[in-house]
Structure formats: C-alpha cells, structure tokens
Amino acid sequence: MNDADVYGQLKQYLGKHITVSDEQLALFCSKFKHKKTKRGEILLRADEIAPYSYFVNNGCLRVYMMDAEGRESTRFLIFENSVGTAFPSFTLQEPSMAYIQSVEPSEILYITHKDFNGLLDTFPGWERVYRIDLEREYIASIRRIESLITMDAKQKYNLLMSKNPALIQRLPSRIIADYLGISQETLSRLKSKK
Amino acid sequence: MNDADVYGQLKQYLGKHITVSDEQLALFCSKFKHKKTKRGEILLRADEIAPYSYFVNNGCLRVYMMDAEGRESTRFLIFENSVGTAFPSFTLQEPSMAYIQSVEPSEILYITHKDFNGLLDTFPGWERVYRIDLEREYIASIRRIESLITMDAKQKYNLLMSKNPALIQRLPSRIIADYLGISQETLSRLKSKK
C-alpha cells in the first residue's frame, strides 16, 4: 500500500472542515506513522502514559478499564475515520487508567503528543478541526452519561441499534454488553426479541 | 455593580490562556449579558433549544434530566468561573434532553449561540481558550463515565471528596446522591463515616 492510500482517509477527515493545499496536507500527514495491528493487540496498558493519539483507517480500537479482579469495562470505541486515544492520559500526559486494545485486525495511523500539540500551534485550521471533533466526542460522552444514569437495558440497546446497528453484528457480545453496562444474558434476550 | 465587576471574572478566565488587549477584552465581554437568578429558577426546559451558554460569576447551575415519572438525574454542575450549558442542544441547536436550573441564587453571564460562534471566527485566541476548556470538560465527562461504570458508592464519594470537597457541604444531599448515582441513604452513611 503506498502513502497516498495510507493517508487518504486522514486527508479526507481534515478536508471536511478546512481547505488546505496539497503541500500542507503532506506536511500534516508526515507527522503520522502507519501501523497494522493484530486482533487483541494491546496498544497501551494502565499506568503507562499514552504516547500516541490514533486515527483508525480500518478496524476498531477499544479503550477499557480493568478492576482489581480483572473485570473489564469498555469506556470508548474508536472506529474508522475517527481520532482517539486514552484521552485524559494523552492530553494531560499522566498515567492512564485505561488500556487500549485493537479489537479487530486494524490499520491505524498514530502521532506523538509533541507532534499533536505542535500541529495545534503551527498548522492553520488544525485547531478548528480538532475543536469540532472534541465537541462531537464530548457530546457522545454526554449521551453516554445520560444513558448510564437514566436508561434501562432495553433503552440502551435500542439507542445503540438506532445509532450504530453494524456494531451489534460486528463486535463480540461480551464487549457490547459491557459497553452498554448490561449483562450478556440481558443482551441476548434483547437481541432475540428483535 | 459596575461593568468592571460584572465582567472581571470572565476577563480573568480569558486571560488564563491568551494575551489580549483591553479593547479586545471589552469587545469580547460586550457579547455577554448579565443576569441574577433565584434559587431554583429554571433557565432551560427539556425540548427547548438551548439559546445561551453561561459563565457563572457566583452560584451554581445544574443540568439535569427528568424521566416520565418526574425523577431527576443530575448530569452536570456548572460552578463559578466556568462556562457551561446544555451542551449538545446549544452546540447542535437541537431540542434539549436536559433542563438547566439555578441551584443557588446565582450571578451569571450569558451569550447567544450566534455570538458564541461569531467569536470563534473573529476573536483571536478564543478558539484556543474554548478548545482547552472543551478538553477539560471532556476529561471530566470521561472520569464521570469511568466512575459510573466501575466504581462503587464509596469510591465515587471518595473521588468527589478529593476533587471537590466544598460541594458536599454546599449542595443538598438529594442532588449530591443523584449526581453520584447512589441513594441518599448510602450517601448519609458515607458522610457519617468521615
């Protein structure tokens, strides 16, 4: 796969909100490295400082917590054509409470914290794209909080079905149930009713 | 109270991250109107489109949801020297799922969606201040999700005690319990153990 293919989606992502020249795009992309991951590969462990933010070309990354008994809780999923990381750790450069795992074999781009902030200072329009993305992510996290504090299992499942039905086919039931904060038994009961 | 007093905290907030002239500051502040609220005053109802974002000079605003049975769930609290609103509704200009209420008698500044976005396009540095604020709020919402999906009542209470102990003295137990997603009985048990 040549560079154009590897960076094509990132360029589209950037071009959604701002107009930039090909030279600027090439400079922007040069800050991102390319990597293929295996199913289940761990990209970050808790207590490490998240060194990278990721752009997913294809596949899916999962940000999750693990308690003292080894029980996992999925905090966040990063899909194709979006940017994400263990956000508090990456942004504040402090030890992460979360792990990052490649749920599927994935193809990703990654950028260091230093280069990410460098682009905010030097690349025209990047702060705007990032700000709009932050608004979107913040809204998603507010919706998540709303569903956690007010919805029952059926409402949570129906919301996910309406927003992201492919997910329910694609990811293991264990991860879906955990993401929704419901039991696997409840999830399979809800699925069978559809 | 003269204008300098009313806008003093907003100017400090802006000056934390960027350097701006007095003329620029005055222009910025001219977009904000000033208002005093009563205890319990409702500033936004569900299904309305949030017209304003708020800066709290003193007091506290509460963003909360209400279910069909009239049960309230506190989603977010906006304290002194911070900006907030029913964020998805204000940002997307769509009907709000949440209410906004003044928990205490408060003194607030408010700005329309049009003026808010106008400042992003025209006021040097405002996009940076807002972006940094968004990162902070997004991190707070991630911490909230983490606590909702992984912590028990005691852990949630201890986290709040370490981050914002004044809150526990200041707000009604009903709102604290609801914010933490625990029962009032559990909260008073935890308080008495301290």
Q: B184-193 vs B173-180: helix axis angle to the nearest 10?
A: 100
B3: Cβ–Cβ under 8 A, 6 or more apart, which residues?
B29
Alpha carbons within 13 angstroms on the beta-carbon side of residue B52 total: 18
In chain B, which ranges are continuous DSSP H helix?
3-15, 22-30, 87-92, 113-122, 126-150, 153-163, 165-170, 173-180, 184-193
CB within 8 Å: A134 and B139: no
Substitution target from B149, B175, B179, B180 for chain A, most A beta carbons within 10 A = B149
**pLDDT over 60 at A59, yes or no:** yes
A21: Cβ–Cβ under 8 A, 6 or more apart, which residues?
none
CB within 8 Å: A146 and B181: no
The confidence score (pLDDT) of residue A4 equals 55
CATH of segment(s) A3-139:
2.60.120.10
Q: How far apart, in whole angstroms, are the C-alpha atoms of residue A176 and residue A183?
A: 9
3-class DSSP assignment, residue B9: helix
- How close A184 gets to chain B, by Cα (Å)? 15
3-class DSSP assignment, residue A63: strand
Enumerate the residues of chain B whose CB falls inside 8 A of the CB of residue A91.
135, 139
The β-bridge partners of A52 are A112
Query: Hey, which residues 97-126 in chain B have their CB within 8 Å of chain A?
Result: 97-98, 120
Q: Does A26 contact chain B (CB < 8 Å)?
A: no
The confidence score (pLDDT) of residue B155 equals 78
- The mean predicted confidence, pLDDT, of chain B is 87
Q: What is the mean pLDDT of residues A63-90?
A: 87
Q: What is the mean pLDDT of residues A145-159?
A: 76
- How close A45 gets to chain B, by Cα (Å)? 16
CB within 8 Å: A91 and B143: no
Tens digits of per-residue pLDDT, B71-90? 788 888 888 998 999 999 99
Give me the percent of chain A exceeding a pLDDT of 70.
96
Tens digits of per-residue pLDDT, B174-191? 888 877 767 788 888 888
Q: Name the residue among B53, B61, B21 with its Cα closest to residue B37.
A: B61
Enumerate the residues of chain A whose CB falls inside 8 A of the CB of residue B50.
none
In chain A, which ranges are continuous DSSP H helix?
3-15, 22-29, 87-92, 113-122, 126-150, 153-163, 165-170, 173-180, 184-193
Q: How confident is the model at residue B2 (pLDDT cuts 50, 70, 90)?
A: low
Cβ A147 vs Cβ A155: under 8 Å: yes
The more confident residue out of B158 and A51 is A51
Substitution target from A132, A149, A152, A154 for chain B, most B beta carbons within 10 A = A149
Q: What is the mean pLDDT of residues A51-56?
A: 97
Tens digits of per-residue pLDDT, A2-12? 555 799 999 99
**pLDDT over 70 at B162, yes or no:** yes
The β-bridge partners of B159 are none
Q: How far apart, in whole angstroms, are the C-alpha atoms of residue A27 and residue A21?
A: 10
Q: How confident is the model at residue B30 (pLDDT cuts 50, 70, 90)?
A: very high
Substitution target from B65, B89, B150 for chain A, most A beta carbons within 10 A = B150
Considering only CA atoms, give the Rg of chain B: 18
Structure tokens at B55: 């800066």
The confidence score (pLDDT) of residue A157 equals 82
Q: Name the residue among B79, B85, B75 with its Cα closest to residue B32.
A: B85
Residues listed for chain A: 194
- The mean predicted confidence, pLDDT, of chain A is 87
Structure tokens at A31: 């800050």
Burial of B68 (0-12, 13-18, 19+ CB in 10 A): exposed
Q: Taking chain B, what is the end-to-end CA distance rounded to the nearest angstrom?
A: 40
Considering only CA atoms, give the Rg of chain A: 18
**pLDDT over 70 at A1, yes or no:** no
Quote the pTM value.
Answer: 0.79
The confidence score (pLDDT) of residue B127 equals 92
Cβ A126 vs Cβ A120: under 8 Å: yes
Q: What is the mean pLDDT of residues A30-52?
A: 97
Cβ A172 vs Cβ A136: under 8 Å: no
- What's the one-letter identity of residue A90? F
The more confident residue out of A166 and A46 is A46
**pLDDT over 90 at A110, yes or no:** yes
The more confident residue out of A44 and A74 is A44
Q: Name the residue among B143, B108, B123 with its Cα closest to residue B17.
A: B123
The confidence score (pLDDT) of residue A38 equals 97
The confidence score (pLDDT) of residue A169 equals 76
Q: Domain ranges for chain A, please list them.
A: 3-139, 151-194
Q: What is the mean pLDDT of residues B131-142?
A: 92
Instruction: Tell the residue number behind the tokens 């329910």, with chain if given.
Output: A168
Tens digits of per-residue pLDDT, B84-134? 999 999 999 999 999 999 988 999 999 999 999 999 999 878 999 999 999
Q: How confident is the model at residue B194 (pLDDT cuts 50, 70, 90)?
A: low
Q: Name the residue among B101, B8, B25, B155 with its Cα closest to residue A97.
A: B155
Judged by phi (left if over 0) then psi (alpha if -120 to 50, else beta), residue B99 lies in beta
The confidence score (pLDDT) of residue B54 equals 97
CATH of segment(s) B3-124:
2.60.120.10
Cβ A160 vs Cβ A167: under 8 Å: yes
Which helix (H) or strand (E) is A57 found in, with range? strand A52-58
A132-136, A176-180, B106-110: range with lowest mean pLDDT: A176-180
The confidence score (pLDDT) of residue B3 equals 53
Residues listed for chain B: 194
Quote the ipTM score.
0.79
Phi first, then psi, for residue A65 (nearest 5°) are: -105, 160
